[in-house]
Structure 1
């Protein structure tokens, strides 16, 4: 099994990076869609339906599959012997940030449900502020992985 993990490692790592890029793109874009949804949907006839469809497809077609692939590939790499040194801080920082990113993903799904039910209580400004969450998590993850502190 160890030989297989070493053999597929470069492919798994490549797929992981691609999935993370796709997931992050969605995490950056969905809060921005929510900003426009709050600020513009009521002023343009039929716009709310378009926002609902865009948000749903972004979540279902891009973000959810990318998150799953990122997690699966990440776990495969974690279980590949010699890749992660658990005596360093970096895997713990990365793991914590990935869990926070996953929580944020689910928080965004809950906000979409609020929109669908007509229960959104957040403003465009608040969604703009939440749009910074993935940036902060990305910085923590990249620094942890590259610097390996």
Structure 2
């Protein structure tokens, strides 16, 4: 069986993303009464996808560090890291922001201490995403950054931020 090229994988991911957006838009337009519920569902789907990538990427870096520069395994990890970032993580982050900001504006009027704290935590999560994107580029150029211990600790950052975000959204302690 022939292995699909990077372009073919990106095309499939783009088609899947377009279908997701089209379906979401159709549901959004067709069901005005439940618009908030549809946006919230799409937001949760995007956040889960983004979080999966944020939690998996540091593990890939740890495994990547175990292999010599230029080895077949190292080259495979470069492809995996690049695809995870560009095909899953970044689109999921963008969709999370789009749907989240829509809810913040349309549903909450951008008011509430809990919402502002949540946005600060999501900005920190986006910064972690940016740091990992930079690391993907550096690993891709065989300029490895961090140690296995560093990436194990970095793996905890999204987890801690997710806990804060979930508590702020569910409990709304500063409403």
Question: Same fold judged by TM-score > 0.5?
Answer: yes
Aligned partner (choices 36, 52, 75) of residue 25 of structure 1: 52
Give 3-state SS (helix, strand or coil) of 2:146's partner. coil
In the TM superposition, 1:95-114 aligns within 5 A as 95-114=119-138
What is the alpha-carbon distance in structure 2 between the residues aligned to residue 58 and residue 123 of structure 1? 20
User: Is it true that 1:115 corresponds to 2:142 in the alignment?
Assistant: no
Give 3-state SS (helix, strand or coil) of 1:72's partner. helix
- The count of corresponding residues between Structure 1 and Structure 2 is 143
Q: CA RMSD in A?
A: 1.9
Displacement of 1:121 in angstroms is 3.1
What is the alpha-carbon distance in structure 2 between the residues aligned to residue 102 and residue 24 of structure 1? 11
Displacement of 1:45 in angstroms is 4.1
Moved more, 116-125 or 91-100: 116-125
Structure with the bigger RCO (C-alpha within 8 Å, sep 6+) is 1
Displacement of 1:118 in angstroms is 2.2
For normalisation by structure 2, the TM-score amounts to 0.76
In the TM superposition, 1:126-141 aligns within 5 A as 126-141=150-165
What is the alpha-carbon distance in structure 2 between the residues aligned to residue 95 and residue 80 of structure 1? 15
Which segments of 5 or more consecutive residues in structure 2 lack a partner in the other structure?
A: 1-30
For normalisation by structure 1, the TM-score amounts to 0.88
What is the alpha-carbon distance in structure 2 between the residues aligned to residue 119 and residue 85 of structure 1? 42
